[in-house]
A and B are shown apart, each in its own frame.
Chain A
Amino acid sequence: MKYVGYGLIIIVGLALQTASPGLVVFGRQPELLLLLTLLFAMLQGPGASVFGFVSGLFQDILVGRFIGLYAGTYLLMAILVGFLAKRLYKENALVRFFAIVLGTVLGQLLYLFGAASFGSSSPQSWVLISGVVGTGLLNGIVGVLLYRPFMALNERLIYLHELLKRTG
């Protein structure tokens, strides 16, 4: 049950992320799938790496270039933020904000570095910095707002999963 729920979350996230006109906040678009991965990592620890890998792979397939790069990046970010969340006091909104900003910034840099290593031309440095930092901050704000509803949704999915498992 919970896997169907997670699959639906990825599909809806991907459709929202790629809809045109998309979600624009302060002139920037959040990296929704990366944000979902980071939120999962905060809730479930490094175990969210599978969610990160699958959502990244879906995004890769849609982009059609460097297939596996988003998957690998999101997997690594899920592991990193998952480990961080275990050691930090994630109930504090400021801690969550900085963890998501860090995950988003590192994730984007890793993707750009990977793409550049395989021959993609990088944007100009100031475009890159403003893009990476801007999206990081936006993801941080949206992530803090989404954390509680997301936690409730996750708990509900786990509860339903357990219920179905026990009742057969």
Chain B
Amino acid sequence: MLERLLRWKIPLIIILVLVLVGTIHYTSIRRPDITRLEGILRDVLSPFQWSFSRIGGFFQHQVAEVNRWRGLKERNLELEERVSQLEAEVFALRNHRRENEWLREALDFRDEGEYELLVAEVIGRSPSQWESTIVVNKGQAHGVVSGMAVVTNAGIVGTVINSSNYTSTVLLIVDAQSATGGLVQATGDLVLVEGGQMGQTTLAAKPLSRDTKVEVGDVIVTSGLSRIYPKNLPIGEVVAVESRQYDLSFSAVVDPFVDFTRLEYVLIVMPQEES
């Protein structure tokens, strides 16, 4: 029995292990293009993912609706207060915008707010908790390629890491593999915003210079240095500042503006055509 086992099973296991180690090694580096087989599997699976996402979304909406009705009166009072605050803020911002437009014209700045955006529906997410990715229903057929930024109106979501014909995988900024250049809006100090935090729901902002100052409540926006994200897109708000060993440095806990558990639609930033 053992001899028979040794005769064919052990060589088979050795070959299998070698093949697996080879494929793991080959695919350990991030690849902009996926193989044909991967593309086919993803495209075949996407209708199933879409169906289950719709069903899940329906139930999530129902639960959210019940919760919304519960706190409607309190919410109304809060909103009235907030509206009056925002009216005052809008007035100030209008003044700033007029001033900004005048300065742009004066300095001949290119308006960086004009991007071509492609709306995509979220149809899936990573199968494991150790990767924070989502799958959207736009792929190479729609002009989506690896490296494109993905945002919502609330802030940045992540970057496209690969795409099949009709789907794309987006690495979320909360993933451990993600690092984004950011700056503190109030001071303009540069920070590196990294994922991989507790529950994959917060980010860590690490200073790039010793003089960087970050306080709770500061807003972190994209620095525009990475060439992936356009400048000044909101990332999140600092909710805590943690000192590191011997107080030589710090790490700020950033609460992202985007709620990654409720993503339904995202915007893919398409490259601007050179004029």
Residues on A facing B (Cβ under 8 Å)? 11-12, 14-24, 27-29, 31, 33, 58-59, 61-72, 108, 111-112, 114-115, 118-124, 126-127, 130-131, 135
Contact = CB atoms under 8 A, between A and B. Distances in A.
Contacts of B38: 61, 64
B34 A124 contact: no
Contacts of B42: 61-62
A17 B127 contact: yes
A116 B28 CA distance: 10
A41 to B, nearest CB: 18
Contacts of A108: 130
A32 B24 CA distance: 22
Nearest to B123: A20
Closest 3 CB pairs of A and B: A19-B52, A15-B48, A68-B20
B28 A66 contact: yes
A152 B100 CA distance: 69
A112 B129 CA distance: 11
B70 to A, nearest CB: 20
Given A15-B51, A18-B127, A68-B19, A62 B45 contact: yes
B181 interface: no
A43 to B, nearest CB: 22
B97 interface: no
A17 B129 CA distance: 10
A100 to B, nearest CB: 16
B56 A14 contact: no
A65 B28 contact: yes
B127 A62 contact: yes
B45 A15 contact: yes
A123 B126 contact: no
Contacts of A12: 48
Contacts of A126: 198
A65 B35 CA distance: 12
Contacts of A19: 49, 52-53, 55-56, 124-125
B37 to A, nearest CB: 7
B23 A67 contact: yes
B127 A33 contact: yes
6 contacts: A15-B52, A70-B128, A72-B20, A108-B130, A122-B176, A135-B129
Contacts of B122: 20
A49 to B, nearest CB: 11
B48 A21 contact: no
Contacts of B51: 15
Interface string B37-65: 11001100100110111011100100000
B226 interface: no
Given A63-B128, A68-B21, A120-B177, 12 more contacts: A15-B51, A16-B52, A18-B125, A18-B126, A20-B135, A28-B129, A61-B38, A62-B127, A66-B28, A67-B24, A122-B176, A124-B196
B263 interface: yes
Given A15-B48, A65-B30, A121-B176, A59 B128 contact: yes
